[in-house]
Structure 1
Amino acid sequence: MTVLPLALAQFVASYAATTMTVAVSVIAADLGTTVLGVQTAITLFTLTMASLMVPGSKLTDVLGRKRCFTAGLAVYGTGALLASAAPGLGLLVLGYSVLEGIGSALMIPPIYILVTATSPDLVARARRFGVVSGAGALGAAAGPLVGGLVTTWFGWRASFLLQVLLVGWVLVLARRIDDPRRPRRTPFDVAGAVLSATGLFFVVSGVLQAGTYGWLVSRADWIVAEVVLLPAGGPSPVWVLAGAGGGILAGFFAHVRARERAGREPLVPSGLFRDRVTRLGLLTQHVQWLVLQGSFFVIAVFLQQVRGYDAIETGLTLTPATIGILGASAAAGRLARRHSPRRLVRGGFVLTVAGLALVLLLVRADSGVPSAVPGLLLLGAGVGIMLTASVNLVQSRGPDSAQGDISGVSRCVSNLGSSVGTALAGSVLAGTSGPGGTSFALALATLALAAVVGLVAALLLPRPT
């Protein structure tokens, strides 16, 4: 029973990250604001969640895993309730962007820690991670479809009320969760939390600007508070923001080493990044979410702009990928008995690259829905295999006492991958144009290249000892 509330919580968090995209115009009109304002709220949700994931995971040691999980659910549910009643953009930002973002950062790391800690062996852990990963991928994939249906039939506020109901159900189920480890009385690294959150905020914020301004040369004036900080044709603000974030993160790692030399516990131990399997495993996780979110974004935009599909038709067309993800996740336990995580990650990348290649070869503006089925099915199956195997690989590298650190970094890397995937795909689409969907083909080819990079990282994983 433990895995059900954890999987449902992961579903809700993933659903919230994608469902808003189909209701942007409706929300803007209803609240009397602009589309840009609502898009900013979505961006702030992503920034808040990603930047607080590492500090949130460390709080599992201080508050306890189950308590942190339920506290995150309560904060998240409160945010969703406020957003559903928002009379204007301000309360929407507070409820959705801030509180739901904080709630996600508190509840997501304990999901993976509890699965690791309560699983008796690697096969059981793989099976449970398959359920959780499948629920997360289903939430991300179903967000536009379910959000489109709910918005069309009941209004955009009902989408937030649906989240409130799901969170309430999870809180009831969470009473049965048994956390085998009690909270530790350890000082919380406040300075490290501020440095890591601020650095990640700037890095993710920079990445998210790529779709608007481009990666290298800015396509438009970068204006902040009605002041042009960078004119069009100059350096892209992506590197200004990401560079600032990188500098702050360098200061964070220096802070970590200083605390370790002083014999004090840092937010994240530096030894975590010295393990080769962990480093490569985190890289494969990053690429998986990059390819998943990026390809869903490109295909969805192609279907809507080139074929003229609405949100419901788009979601239905993407169903084969969802089926592939769920099928692979359901088979995670059987696959773990027969193959090592290393082999599964490699095989998943091969299937993903093959799926993207089939989409590129078969899908055209006038090719019809069936042309996308083989490629999307392979893409979903490949990602579904990898999501479970790579999480199992990384989470199994450390002892129970290190699970908070591993989980926080793992979820942070995955969220960063989602942001980079959408930004990378969006920047390619915005920076290229051509007849017959050439820009969409180039964007998918870029994502396929990223998947090849992930495959190379998987090939470099050492044999299990």
Structure 2
Amino acid sequence: MTTQSVSTANTGVEARDPWLPMIVIALAQILLSFNISALPVSIGAIVDEFNTTPASVSTALVVYSLVVAGFVMLGAKLGRLLGSRLMFQVGVAVFGVAMGAMAFSTSDRAMIQVQGIAGLAAVIVVPSLVVLIASHYRGAQQAQALGYLGAAQASAGVLAFLIVGTLGTLAGWRIPFGLLVFLAIAILILSFRLRPVERQPGVGIDGVGAVLAAASVMLISFGFNSLNDWGLVLRRPGAPFDILGLSPAPLLIVLGIFLGQAFFTWSNMRQRLDMPTLIDLRVLDSVKERAATFALLIIGGLGPAVNFLIPLYIQIVQGRSGLQTAVAVIPYSLAIFVGTAFSVRLFDRVSSRWLGRIGFVVVAAGLTLLAFTVSNDWGTPAVIFSLLVLGLGEGALLTLVFTVLVSASPKELAGDVGALRGTVNNLSTAVGTAVAGALAIGILSLNITSSVQNNPAIPPALLQQVNLDNVNFVSNDQLDELLAQTTATPEQQAEAVRINEAARLRALKMSFLILAGVALLAVLPASGLPNYAPSEVPSEAAPQPEPKGRGKKTAPA
């Protein structure tokens, strides 16, 4: 089907393999990423149909992401044991079934459960993507393929905003998810054109490591996602339990971090004893790999945070349709795609370290501009320019840090690098989405509470009729309906709407500004990136033995 890339001695031109396998791999990446991008765009329609809150959509996103992050390392091992192409095909098929169930879901609870199933399918697809690229391409074509994989992920965001925005407005939010079923079928048919990756029956699976990794990721993600409902420090009424009056949410985060450290300690011990580990820790041996991992964790969280805040404000606050949201966010999505697709061209001219530093500064600048320019009129030129700046920096960083990870590891560790990418990417998505929701709602609550206190237009008797302990983003119409059930006069209702409008906008601005600060802090781990250009990605075209011990690595020159 495909031929091995070789250098032709007479011409000095490297033979190139066909791009059909890359098209199949890219379509699979689009399938996975489209689902995650479509949920925020559909937030308004889902909230209205299921009579729920935006937090339910956030929870669905978090459930998907934490399942992938928790079990993707196990999925990589299964790929080596049973064959990466077979696992790719099984995962795509199950994911397609899950999207069909998503299109017919009847409640927010069912939607969350379906996203959990989709996450389990993605667990075995995500690590296979890097292995399949490595088995089909060599040299410079591998670097191109890696860039195309990142571009496919970014293009899914563009397509989601366009397709979900248009079809969601004209025919309902369910139709786009139904279309993903047909895309999965097409990928499954085309996947038989991929080169099989030989099984490695001798691969061992570390069951204890799998439990520790999954528990760590899930506790961290669930803890962050519950901060708003359960309380940041003190227990809120919605918390299932408390410890001496403290909220269980931060305690879950601390316990998750502890189990994460236990996982690395356990894996180190097994590797010293020449026993199989869930992930080969050589992928995190060097400073540059750890720096790239931290950088991926940060930029991977900032993107989902922005993707959650923008539709939340446009649809819930401004009451606009999914199509209007798509139009408003297209510049941002296109900028991510452009930054992802063309950043590879800078690798030979700018070192990874400087490109990482510049990238995070650009992201911070875009978020800062967005904080100072965003208003109730979302589509102003200044806001669009801010989104373009933000998207270009984000897209370039996503490609850069992943390329650094795969270029710095031994060639037999493609599956482990893919698993690490999936874990970090989805953990950051879950944490970024959860933190964005908790941050925005927490600031909103503080803004509203401070605005109504000692406000002569809002008497204490009226405040007693409203639950200020459970503040959330609501439209003006929803607030009017709520106040209609109280003794509020028309003047008091008007003042309450004014306070709500100002508090919502201030919460959004402050959230973007805090995210900008996080992006600036990320310059520190970016300083640990290498000074050389990323080279060829790891390859597992041929079966490799299970690594023993902590063998030494050589970094590209």
Q: CA RMSD in A?
A: 2.8
Q: Does 1:298 align with 2:309?
A: yes
Deviation at 1:136, TM superposition (A): 1.3
SS in structure 1 at match of 2:347: helix
> Partner residue of 1:356?
367
Paired with 1:118 and 1:342, the residues of 2 have a C-alpha distance of: 29
- 1:101 Cα deviation from its structure 2 partner: 1.0
- Helix, strand or coil for the counterpart of 1:463? coil
1:18 to 37, 49, 61: 37
Find the partner of 2:328 among 310, 317, 330: 317
What is residue 139 of structure 1 aligned with on the other side? 156
Alignment of 1:221 with 2:237, yes or no, is: yes
> Are 1:114 and 2:132 an aligned pair?
yes
Aligned residue in 1 for 2:294: 283
Distance 1:144 1:216, change over 3 A: farther
Matched, 1:396 2:407: yes
1:50-449 equivalences under 5 Å are 50-86=69-105, 92-94=111-113, 96-121=114-139, 123-140=140-157, 142-179=159-196, 182-218=199-235, 220-224=236-240, 229-230=241-242, 234-366=245-377, 368-433=379-444, 434=447, 435=502, 437-449=505-517
Q: Structure 1: 5+ residue runs without aligned partners?
A: none
Aligned twin of 1:458: 526
Does residue 7 of the first structure (1) align with residue 26 of the second (2)? yes
For residues 400 and 58 of structure 2, what CA distance do their matches in structure 1 show?
33
Q: CA deviation at 1:185?
A: 2.2
Question: Residues 339 and 115 from structure 1, CA distance in 2 versus in 1: closer, same or farther, beyond 3 angstroms?
Answer: farther
Cα deviation, residue 403, structure 1: 1.5
**Are the equivalent residues in 2 in contact too, given 1:48–1:97 (CA < 8 A)?**
no
Query: Given that residues 11 and 135 in structure 1 are in contact (C-alpha distance below 8 angstroms), is that contact kept between their aligned partners in structure 2?
Result: yes
**Are 2:68 and 1:49 aligned?**
yes
- In structure 2, the residue corresponding to 1:296 is in which secondary structure? helix
Gap change, CA 1:186 and 1:454, over 3 Å in 2: same
Higher helix share: 1
Question: Which amino acid in 1 is paired with 2:358?
Answer: G
Of the structure 1 ranges 37-46 and 54-63, higher mean CA displacement relative to structure 2 is found in: 37-46
* Aligned-partner Cα distance in 1 for 2:160–2:233: 32
Q: 1:214 to 1:77 in 2, by over 3 A?
A: same
Q: Quick one: structure 1 residues 89 and 367, their matched pair in 2 at CA, closer, same or farther if it must change by over 3 Å?
A: closer
The alignment partner of 1:405 has SS state of helix
The CA distance in 1 between the partners of 2:78 and 2:251, in whole Å, is 31
* Conserved 8 A contact 1:354-1:379: yes
How far apart, CA to CA, are the structure 2 residues paired with 1:238 and 1:90?
21
In structure 2, runs of 5+ residues without a counterpart are 1-19, 448-501, 533-556
Quote the Cα distance in structure 2 between the aligned partners of 1:362 and 1:31.
33
Aligned length: 457
Query: Residues 346 and 455 of structure 1 are in contact (CA less than 8 Å); yes or no, is this contact kept in structure 2?
Result: yes
For residue 54 of structure 1, report the CA deviation from its aligned partner. Answer: 1.6
Residues 284 and 179 of structure 1, relative CA distance in 2, 3 Å threshold: farther
Query: CA 1:89 to 1:359, structure 2 compared with 1: closer, same or farther past 3 Å?
Result: closer
- Is the contact between residue 116 and residue 395 of structure 1 (CA under 8 Å) also seen in structure 2? no
Deviates more, 1:414-423 or 1:149-158: 149-158
Judged with a 3 Å threshold, the aligned counterparts in structure 2 of structure 1 residues 339 and 88 are, in CA distance, closer, same or farther, namely same
C-alpha separation in 2, matches of 1:110 and 1:177: 12
CA distance in structure 2 between the partners assigned to 1:361 and 1:389 by the alignment = 28
Q: For 1:322 and 1:34, locate their aligned partners in 2 and report how far apart those are by CA, in whole Å.
A: 25
Would the aligned equivalents of 1:428 and 1:442 in 2 still touch at CA under 8 Å? Answer: no
Secondary structure at the counterpart of residue 452 of structure 1: helix
Equivalent position amino acid for 2:210 in 1:
A
TM-score, normalization by structure 1: 0.88
After the TM superposition, which of the residue ranges 363-372 and 170-179 deviates more from structure 2?
363-372
Distance 1:422 1:42, change over 3 A: closer
* Amino acid across the alignment from 1:278: E
- Per-residue CA deviation, residues 191-230 of structure 1 (Å, 9 max, x unaligned), is 2212211221111111211343454344x22443xxxx02
- Structure 1 residues 372-392: Cα deviation after superposition (integer angstroms, max 9, x where no partner): 121111111111111111111
Query: Is contact 1:117-1:400 (8 Å) kept?
Result: no
One-letter code of the match for 2:175? A
TM-aligned CA deviation for residue 177 of structure 1: 1.9
Q: CA deviation at 1:331?
A: 1.6
* Letter paired with 1:76: F
Q: Give yes or no for contact 2:40–2:311 (8 Å, CA) kept in 1.
A: no
Q: Hey, what's the Cα distance between the residues in 2 that align with 1:89 and 1:296? A: 20
Please tell me the residue identity of whatever aligns with 1:321.
Answer: Y
Offset, 1:394: 0.3
Q: TM-score, normalised by structure 2?
A: 0.75
Does the CA contact (< 8 Å) of 1:145 and 1:311 recur in 2?
no
Q: State the 1:451 CA deviation.
A: 0.8
Residues 27-46 of structure 1: matches in 2 within 5 Å?
40-46=59-65
Shift of 1:164: 0.7
- 1:42: Cα distance to partner? 4.3
Q: Structure 1: how far apart are the matches of 2:95 and 2:420?
A: 21
Offset at residue 18 of structure 1 (A)? 3.2
- Shift of residue 283 of structure 1? 0.7
For 1:188, give the aligned amino acid: I
**TM-aligned CA distance change 1:380 to 1:411, over 3 Å:** same
The 3 A distance-change label for structure 1 pair 29 and 360 is: closer
* CA–CA separation in structure 2 for the residues paired with 1:196 and 1:108: 17
- The one-letter code of the counterpart of 1:298 is L
User: By how many angstroms is 1:236 displaced?
Assistant: 3.2
